[in-house]
């Protein structure tokens, strides 16, 4: 009898643990970043540089999440070989280290999780993202400080109860034209609005995160 009771308690405990879900994630990632602007107007993934990030994510529910991210990437650009013609037949190249910090909202196409079969959770889910970041290149005499608006998509995979892997691509529009340096700030001397004459940068990142902070249990008893 005692042996049977212990087996039942073990099965109940195992079921409860497997159904636990967590509110927060923390992790890091690596990948590549690239730039699009005056020295590279239309060729994605040209001259990519190494990129790294740190992530804190609040899982609001199984569909929605809010991520705070800190990233850095090497941005490179070169106008030669692209058929670009600048005043005085000049060619330009640059290499700069970019840092950004901000928040993005994420929407999962499926109920992302593991163990909650009654909620039809999935270990894998594609997602889309949008947000706002502060971006800077702290370089004496030729720094760049702006706001960027990221749009992107990715896929999440829950490796285990607490571990996640993600692959994410985002394009980030800045509100400035000096990401590539002041030499390429409106090289044709044609003034335009902040929305048109601006630089872009993008990330392709692979990340690993760890879950923590149990969600509050909901009591389904009816008084």
Q: What does the domain layout of the chain look like in residue ranges?
A: 2-214
Residue 109, pLDDT above cutoff 70: yes
Q: What are the C-alpha distances in Å from 20 to residues 14, 67, 128, 147, 172?
A: 10, 21, 25, 38, 35
154 by DSSP, 3-state: which? strand
Would you say residue 1 has pLDDT above 80?
A: no
Q: In terms of pLDDT, which residue wins out, 41 or 88?
A: 41
Residue showing tokens 């005499």 = 141
Distance CA 144, CA 175 (A): 11
pLDDT tens track for 29-79: 999 999 987 777 777 888 899 999 999 999 999 999 999 999 999 998 876
Q: Which fold has domain 2-214?
A: Porin (2.40.160)
| pLDDT at res. 47 | 85
Q: Note the pLDDT of residue 18.
A: 44
At residue 186, does pLDDT exceed 50? yes
The arithmetic mean of pLDDT across residues 208-218, rounded, is: 83
Q: What is the pLDDT of residues 150-169, one digit of tens each?
A: 999 999 999 999 999 999 99
The yes-or-no verdict on residue 206 having pLDDT over 80 is yes
Which is more confidently placed, 218 or 50?
Answer: 50
């Amino acid at each position: 009898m005692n042996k049977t009771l212990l087996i039942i308690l073990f099965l109940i405990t195992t079921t409860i643990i497997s159904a636990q879900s967590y509110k927060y994630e923390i992790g890091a990632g690596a990948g590549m970043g690239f730039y699009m602007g005056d020295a590279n107007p239309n060729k994605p993934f040209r001259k990519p540089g190494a990129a790294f990030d740190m992530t804190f994510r609040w899982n609001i529910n199984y569909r929605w999440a809010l991520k705070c991210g800190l990233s850095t990437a090497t941005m490179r650009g070169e106008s030669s070989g692209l058929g670009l013609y600048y005043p005085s037949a000049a060619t330009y190249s640059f290499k700069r280290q970019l840092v950004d910090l901000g928040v993005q909202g994420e929407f999962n196409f499926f109920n992302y999780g593991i163990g909650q079969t009654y909620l039809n959770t999935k270990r894998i889910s594609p997602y889309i993202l949008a947000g706002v970041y502060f971006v800077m290149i702290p370089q004496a005499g030729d720094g760049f400080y702006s706001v960027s608006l990221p749009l992107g998509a990715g896929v999440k995979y829950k490796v285990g109860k607490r571990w996640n892997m993600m692959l994410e691509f985002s394009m980030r529009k800045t509100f400035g034209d000096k990401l590539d340096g002041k030499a390429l700030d409106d090289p044709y001397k044609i003034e335009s609005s902040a929305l048109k004459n601006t630089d872009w940068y993008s990330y392709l990142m692979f990340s690993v995160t760890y879950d923590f902070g149990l969600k509050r249990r909901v009591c389904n008893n009816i008084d």
